[in-house]
Amino acid sequence: MTIPLNRRTFCLSAGATTVGSLSLAASPVFTGRSANEKIVLAVMGLNRGRALANRIVKFPNVSIKYVCDVDSKRADSCANSLQSSSQSPKPLADFRHALDDKDVDALVCAAPNHWHAPATILACAAGKHVYVEKPCCHNPHEGELMVQAARKHNRAVQMGAQRRSGPGTQKAMQELREGAIGKIDLARSWYGNGRGSIGKGKPADVPSNLNYELWQGPAPRVAYFDNRIHYNWHWFWHWGNGELGNNGVHTLDLCRWGLGVEFPTRVTSSGGRYRYIDDQQTPDTHAVCYEFAGGKQMTWEGTSCHRRQLGFVHFYGSKGMMELDSSGTYRILDEKNKLIREEKSPSRGDDAHLTNFFAAIRNDKPLELNAEIAKGYKSTLLCHLGNIAHRTGRTLNCSTKDGHILGDNKAMSHWKRDYEKNWEPVL
């Protein structure tokens, strides 16, 4: 079915619309604004989005006009909770109504992973800037489209890699660039948690407060089960990217930044589901190795069911090593493992990351973002490549130009997902 190119018609449609059709419309000219001019936001996805909203309301000259969630209870609860902070947001089930509002300047997207790219592309086409949570996309193809959409519509698109704005992390990276530990050839990273089993789900009636059709959005339709929403979708390939995409993206982003690399030459993976026999599809024990041109390597080790880990991110160089923790505090050690010094960090950068986003909007400089979408996509791609290597059981050889997998059609078949009819994002 062909839908007329009209933003209001698009927003009022329940789902039988082409998700990318808005991108054909011209975006408003991006002219920036004064420091005293209010920035108006819509927040989408009110688990992580609610935490972001609670931070955003503390900023001067920033207003939340809409809080959007397919679960009416969550939308209403968030809207009510923000009333005490002199905000009066309207709860919405369908975020596309907010895109139709000319007063809205930006979308904060903290919805499930399968919505990150489609929502961002729609928002850019509607003339909105976007703060999108990690991982920025469900699959590599979508990430490439996000970068193109940001460029086509001249929008500021920031991925939620908050440590890129953390003062301690920025100082650590500067020290690495200045040769504090010499020539760096290896970065190692870890993530551990104590997650339990999600059990065996059963088909169930959709709760009356949940718009499951809209929750699925771009993903092909499947029956509702009682153990997937609102969090366990992370562990199903249909919507999520496992622990590697959920948390590994943070440390791999720092590894890539510190090593000064972009696309790998080779990716290998090992691991699986070892702890519980349940419905989860993604590995609970996962080790991934990435090799880069110029003799550089990074590794990630994730253990969803064991909290014990060796550190957060470590860099190894010709003159010693650096240990970087999740807050941005770092320690530099010499070749004999003797502590040279420790630098404490005041914060990991959550508020500074939002400040950076708002500054890019005000200053009419969409590329001056600490985690601009091109950077965010390159780091997210590492997660996708690690998952593809795991799912295929193959070593991936990749192009240093764009990260595409070379000589392996089976592996490249995971580059893009299948979409529900008329929901595929396009430019």
User: One digit per residue, pLDDT tens: the chain, 427 residues?
Assistant: 223 323 333 333 334 333 333 333 445 555 566 666 899 999 999 999 999 999 999 999 999 999 999 999 999 999 999 987 778 999 999 999 999 999 999 999 999 999 999 999 999 999 999 999 999 999 999 999 999 999 999 999 999 999 999 999 999 999 999 999 999 999 999 999 999 999 999 999 999 999 999 999 999 999 999 999 999 999 999 999 999 999 999 999 999 999 999 999 999 999 999 999 999 999 999 999 999 999 999 999 999 999 989 999 999 999 999 999 999 999 999 999 999 999 999 999 999 999 999 999 999 999 999 999 999 999 999 999 999 999 999 999 999 999 999 999 999 999 999 999 999 999 9
Q: Vertex 377, ends 20 and 306: CA angle to 5°?
A: 120
Query: What is residue 4's predicted lDDT score, i.e. its pLDDT?
Result: 30
CATH, domain range 7-163+355-372: 3.40.50.720
Strands (E), 144-230: 157-159, 184-192
Query: What is residue 85's predicted lDDT score, i.e. its pLDDT?
Result: 79
Query: What is residue 14's predicted lDDT score, i.e. its pLDDT?
Result: 38
Instruction: State the span(s) of the chain assigned CATH 3.40.50.720.
Output: 7-163+355-372
Helix (H, G, I), strand (E, B) or coil at 265: coil
Query: What is residue 84's predicted lDDT score, i.e. its pLDDT?
Result: 78
The amino acid at residue 12 is L
* Domain 167-199+224-348+378-405: homologous superfamily in CATH: Dihydrodipicolinate Reductase; domain 2 (3.30.360.10)
Which whole-number Å values give the CA distances from 272 to 43, 299, 413, in the listed order? Answer: 35, 17, 21
pTM score of the predicted model: 0.93
Q: Which residues pair with 244 in a beta bridge?
A: none
Which whole-number Å values give the CA distances from 285 to 39, 295, 326, in the listed order? Answer: 43, 27, 21
Pairing state between β 285-292 and 157-159: unpaired
CB atoms inside a 10 Å sphere around CB 203: 8
Tokens read off for 304? 């969803």
Query: What is residue 86's predicted lDDT score, i.e. its pLDDT?
Result: 79
Query: What is residue 15's predicted lDDT score, i.e. its pLDDT?
Result: 40
- Phi (first) and psi of residue 9, to 5 degrees: -60, -45
The one-character DSSP state at 225 is B
Query: What is residue 29's predicted lDDT score, i.e. its pLDDT?
Result: 52
DSSP letter for each residue of 5-51: S-HHHHHH-SS-S-TTGGGGSPPPP-----TTSPEEEEEE-TTHHHH
CB atoms inside a 10 Å sphere around CB 406: 12
Tokens read off for 84? 């005490």
**Are 279 and 199 spatial neighbours (Cβ–Cβ below 8 Å)?**
yes
